[in-house]
Amino acid sequence: MKTQKLSKEYLLDLGHRLKIIRTVLKLDQRQMSEVLGTAQSQISKIEIGRSAPTLHHLLMIKKVAGEDEYLGENLTWEWILEGKGKGIVG
């Protein structure tokens, strides 16, 4: 199976959106790393576009965000993954 590499621009944009979610949840990187079961340094790498989040990370972020009243109503997969549609901003 052939894998596709994500562009640097895409990773930067995705990381920025994930940072916005974390900020709205009022979590610092350490707290988010505990939620996701990963190292704080991994959260930093994801947010600055140096690493891609795993599917597990994305699922856990969506789950935790769904527990927030505002995010539960406004956050869509389309916004998380592509920055389009209903989301937090724009």
3-33 burial, b at 16+ Cβ within 10 Å, e below that, comes to eeeeeeeebeebbebbbbbbebbebebeebb
Task: Report pLDDT for 2.
Answer: 61
Tell me the pLDDT of the chain (90 aa) as tens digits.
Answer: 566 788 999 999 999 999 999 999 999 999 999 999 999 999 999 999 999 999 999 999 999 999 999 899 889 999 999 999 776 764
Q: What sign has the CA pseudo-torsion 6, 50, 24, 89?
A: negative
Fold of 8-82: 434 Repressor (Amino-terminal Domain) (1.10.260)
Length of the chain: 90
Residue 36: how many CB atoms within 10 A of its CB?
20
Amino acid at 2: K
Domain ranges of the chain: 8-82
